[in-house]
Structure 1
Amino acid sequence: MTPSDHDFDTEHDFDENEDIDDSVEACVWQLLLLINPGDEEMAFQQFADYRDAVVQAGENEVEPIEIIRGVIDWRSGFHVDGQDTHALVQAIDELSSRWNISIDWGGDPDDDDFHAEIDAASLFAVAYDRLLEHGYTLWAWETEDDSYAGWVTLKRDNELLRELATSLHINMRLGSEVT
């Protein structure tokens, strides 16, 4: 099955009588398309992984973001310890490299002294500004612990991402708003 064979596409219309699970899946599909700009094959692969994970979760009520986090980690998104600025830089660099973008962090991120003098919020702000210069938006979503999580979309998709995040009960903020 190819992405074009799938019954969810970016123009999916929601019918008021649709099963709630179908609309959640449609939102997840659209979200995966947004966080994989220009890579529909990756979005499709992650969507298949998402569906498998939902089946494995069985009867347990699982928030979509928890499953999404697992299927996108280090490929289309990240989830790192809040104190690990090294991992945060690596994750954002990995995502940025998908579009041949190199972040100028304003110092040497391979140097421990650089990390001793900077926090995650400052790194988010720098990466947000650098990605925006290329037409991309760095997002962070609220986690339930002392970690940071996020992904990157095209700037033109900001409003659609906000709508999808709201539908999926994901508390999002711009990378420039991380505290």
Structure 2
Amino acid sequence: MTMPDEFDPDDNFDQAFGHESDVDEEAAQEAVVWQLLLLINPGDEDAALQQFAAYREAAADAGEDADPVWLLRDAIDWKAGFFVAEDDPQALVESVDELAARWNLHIDWGIDDEENDLDQVEVPTLINTAYDRLREHHYTLWTWETGSEHHAGWITQQRDDEALRLVAGALGFHVRTGAG
């Protein structure tokens, strides 16, 4: 193998996936989707497989121009992710409680009377509370920018924080932790 005249060993990724490469972009995207599903379904490959099948079916139906972010949102909703309106704290609590229950975790939301006092708390405050409570058990609550008046996200194991940033970014998710 001959090296290009301007070979940069730190640029191996670009050399492998440059404009001249014969990478199947759909297969590469599916591989990254699979990695994301494994991260947001820690320890539950069966759930990740079911969500992957739903994603692939939706992608086939949507065609080439489909946005993987929204296809994934639909495939994981209430199974491995949440998507709630900015003015619906009850939906956030229910959804995140459901997600945390997969690991037998209960979130103390810090609200005395959840039914009556919940409407007085803003969704971002609840996201921050969930983040803090989940970190106590080595999990991270993530949110991603929806471009709308909704909040969306998922939960991963804390040790996968850097991997989640990389994989989500590769798919076009703009993520941040629920810490604020």
TM-score grouping bracket, smaller chain normalisation: 0.7 to 0.9
The structure-2 alpha-carbon separation of the partners of 1:76 and 1:109, relative to structure 1 and needing over 3 Å to count, comes to: farther
Q: Which runs of 5+ in 2 are unaligned?
A: 1-15
Does residue 29 (structure 1) correspond to residue 34 (structure 2)? The answer is yes
How big is the alpha-carbon RMSD for the aligned residues of Structure 1 and Structure 2? 1.4
Amino acid at match of 2:154: W
Does residue 174 (structure 1) correspond to residue 173 (structure 2)? The answer is no
Distance 1:21 1:135 in 2: 33
The structure-2 alpha-carbon separation of the partners of 1:109 and 1:154, relative to structure 1 and needing over 3 Å to count, comes to: farther
What percent identity do the matched residue pairs reach? 49
Give the structure with higher Rg (CA).
Answer: 2
- Aligned residues between the structures: 162
Q: Paired residue for 1:154? A: 157
Give CA-to-partner distance per residue, 1:102-159, whole Å, 9 cap, x none: 001111463222322x111110111001000101000001002100101000000010
Which of 94, 100, 104 is matched with 1:100 structurally? 104
Q: Paired residue for 1:68? A: 72
TM-score normalised by the chain length of structure 2? 0.86
Which of 111, 115, 119 is matched with 1:111 structurally? 115
Distance 2:90 2:33 in 1: 29
Does residue 54 (structure 1) correspond to residue 56 (structure 2)? The answer is no
Q: Paired residue for 1:78? A: 82
Q: Report if aligned partners of 1:86, 1:109 keep a CA contact under 8 Å in 2.
A: no
Relative to total residues, which structure has the larger helix share, 1 or 2?
2
SS at match of 1:124: helix
Q: Report if aligned partners of 2:80, 2:154 keep a CA contact under 8 Å in 1.
A: yes
Distance 2:99 2:136 in 1: 15
Q: Which runs of 5+ in 1 are unaligned?
A: 1-14
TM-score normalised by the chain length of structure 1? 0.86
SS at match of 2:103: coil
Q: Paired residue for 2:138? A: 135
